[in-house]
Amino acid sequence: MSRRPGIGPITPAQPSTTEDGTPYSDTFEDVYHSTGGALGQARYVFLGGNGLPERWRGRGQFVIVETGFGLGLNFLATWAAWRDDPQRPARLHFVSVEKHPFRALDLRRMLEPMLVQPGMTELAPLVQRLCDMWPSPVAGWHRLELAPGVVLSVGFGDASELLPSLRVGADAFYLDGFSPSKNPDIWTPDIFKTLGRLARDGATLATYTAVGQVRRDLIAAGFQVARQHGYGPKRSMLAGPYAPPYRMRRYDPPAAPTPRASHPREAIVVGAGMAGAAMARRLVARGWRVRLFERAQAPGTAASGNPAGVFHPQLSADDNVLSRLTRAGFLYALSQWRTLPGGLPGRADGLLQVAATEAEAHALQQLMAAHAYPEAYAKWVDASQASALAGETLTHGGVWYPEGGWLAPAMLCRAELVAAGPSLDARYGVSVAQLVRRDDGRWAALDETGRELAVADAVVVTAADVSQKLLAPYLDPAFVPVRRVRGQLTFLPPDALPSLRVPVCGDGYVAPSPLAGAGPVTGATYGFDDPAETVRLADHQANLRRLAALLPAHAEAFGDAGLASERAAAELGGRTAFRALAPDRLPMAGQLPDMRAIEPQRRRLSGGHLRDLPRLDGLYASFAFGSRGLVFASLCAELVASQLEGEPWPIGSDLADAIDPARYLMQALRKV
């Protein structure tokens, strides 16, 4: 079985109905829900079968895992029940998989006519919100925050690939999807075992079917289901608790996150770049009291202080880790930025990634054909289409990302901190020199004189390359091999490239003027082990030569005889900053390992997995974003916040492992 969830392409569901108007799938030759009424079935079979809403009362969070999202009626019914319950848990997580998702337009087209049915009108605002937020059909997990406290994580792709990668502790399971005879792949013993590994103590399961084989396989997987009276014309259904007679596997349940103690909890966040700002916002949103320390006098002054940065997902022929991670990060970041009070501090209305040669263009075009991405995500454009979109004459075609664009990072940091709200306690001009674990298990941040700045339940280190030093007492710097990479941007004169409409990327990038009266921004250089903070003429020239290659129509103007000449380049403005970069160019985000607990078990752990490593309670990090801070910051913050809360992770373990701050340690352990 493949362990690379999220690999597309996704074939969207086609909207279709039976003669009586019941939604119908041509692929599975089956109706989406019982003709007796979708909402009634959802309430009776899935909520009722799992003892809801009673069972979620008094809980801080409640997690439901579903197979087969379909039109989302079970989710909508659950959301409505949660909304109407005064004793609801603070957070409802609904995690679902769908192999053939509807396109947003089709979902709306299918759901809206159903709103006239009895009992459905009250769902209208929920349907509206779901359809507004519904993602493009691209493979992988999508996290949608539909209302404060209501989080839908929907995985597009094959359940057998997506479910094993989930890091979720489930309280209830809804087994929906087309009937076992029409869609046997979703009713297999393997799927049931995988679900069992996610179950928290006391978890229950319900399904509309009562097929004997399903019942036997569920029981074999530890679900003590029994036949119950079915909904409407159906004679029976299955429901029951997860109560395995014995622990079936070493990882049973492997990593079902357990919910944490109640609030308010306190956290220290070190560093107010885009990593720290996003982190503070995600924690405050969950009710944490956050103290944010920044050594500079304002947020977003280091790498996150550039006037403009571009953002887009990465594509690759084999949809590698970087592609899947940047896809998840790009989509999640957009959803977060769109909720900022002042709107997006930049633009997300298109970015062009152009090929440098005809051969590269050909390869890109083939890649695009193989992946068949929805046009709203990424689209192949030839040279003339690319030129029209960019407002500049381009020699080769490339990929158009309709929602890519540019942002002003410092403005983003400030906006995230404002969005976090007044309860955030941000202190500027305060440098954290040391992090100490106290005897009572809490964490203290100390300044360079050893004075205690704050004490909290948890610390998240978001201090870019300085993170290595702050974490050193707990994780040997050899296992945090992050380098500082100098980069220089060049600010073009205000009258340069007046017709440039969107950022153009290739080898380097150019973004339209971020500020009124300022020129476009181009860059950036890449200098390992180069500590120079001053702007250098030679680096401007390197940026301009790259720009001349990117926009060949301006080769002369930006070339050695033009702006790149010593005299002209010396007049240009620019900025240097430092990226933090790991050897694999992926972030370090998550909980730190507990070396004291690991040492005595080194030999045993050498054959293990990252999830086997003991973790240090309360110490987390999110840094090393390299050149992709904009697509990584929000997702990494959400991952860390989910880990802190024992909530479902926003990405599968395939991606979370790839950015685990313990991955270099794990590599070393494996060599023991």
Ligand X SMILES: Cc1cc2nc3c(=O)[nH]c(=O)nc-3n(C[C@H](O)[C@H](O)[C@H](O)COP(=O)(O)OP(=O)(O)OC[C@H]3O[C@@H](n4cnc5c(N)ncnc54)[C@H](O)[C@@H]3O)c2cc1C
Q: Residues interacting with ligand X, by CB under 6 A?
A: 270-276, 293-296, 301-304, 306, 309-311, 409, 431-432, 462-464, 466, 487, 489, 523-524, 577-579, 623, 625, 627-630
Closer CB to ligand X, 462 or 643, in the complex:
462
> In this complex, which beta carbon is closest to ligand X, that of residue 10 or of residue 551?
551
The rounded radius of gyration (Å) of the Cα atoms in the chain is: 26
- Closest separation in Å from C-beta 396 to ligand X: 21
Residue 163 or 268 with smaller CB distance to ligand X: 268
- Amino acid code (one letter) for 146: L
Closer to ligand X by CB, 34 or 462: give it: 462
**Which of the 8 DSSP states describes residue 17?**
B
Query: Which residue type, as a one-letter code, is found at position 103?
Result: R
Q: Which is nearer to ligand X, 402 or 503 (CB)?
A: 503
Shortest Å distance, C-beta 502 to ligand X? 14
Q: Which residue is nearest to ligand X (CB)?
A: 273
Closer by beta carbon to ligand X, 144 or else 272 = 272
Contact 133, 146 (CB under 8 A): yes
Q: State the nearest-atom distance from the C-beta of 640 to ligand X, in Å.
A: 13
Q: Residues 352, 389: contact at Cβ < 8 Å?
A: yes
How much of the chain is in helix, strand and coil states, percent to nearest 5? Answer: 35, 25, 40
Nearer to ligand X, 166 or 524 (CB): 524
Tokens of 334: 């957009």
- Reported as type and span, the H/E element at residue 109 is helix 104-111
Residue 524: cis peptide before it, omega within 30 degrees of 0: yes
Using alpha carbons, select from 228, 141, 238, 248 the residue that is nearest to residue 180: 238
State the nearest-atom distance from the C-beta of 622 to ligand X, in Å. 7
Nearer to ligand X, 33 or 347 (CB): 347
330 vs 479, which CB is nearer to ligand X?
Answer: 330
Phi, psi (5° rounding) for residue 278? -65, -40
Closest separation between CB of residue 506 and ligand X, Å? 13
Min separation Cβ 151 and ligand X, Å: 24
Smallest distance, ligand X to C-beta of residue 297, A:
10
Contacts of 414 (CB under 8 A, 6+ apart): 277, 299, 300
Question: Taking CA 194 as the corner, what is the angle to CA 193 and CA 195, rounded to the nearest 5 degrees?
Answer: 90
CB of 522 to ligand X, least distance (A): 10
Three-state SS for 661? Answer: coil
What spatial distance separates the first Cα and last Cα of the chain, rounded to whole Å? 29
Only one residue has tokens 């001053």, namely 534
CA dihedral 8, 11, 12, 17 (to 10 degrees): -150
Report in angstroms how near the CB of residue 665 gets to ligand X at its nearest.
Answer: 21
Nearer to ligand X, 212 or 531 (CB): 531
Contacts of 320 (CB under 8 A, 6+ apart): none
For 109, how many CA atoms within 13 A lie in the half-sphere containing its CB? 10
Minimum Å distance from CB 624 to ligand X? 8
- At 156, the amino acid letter reads F
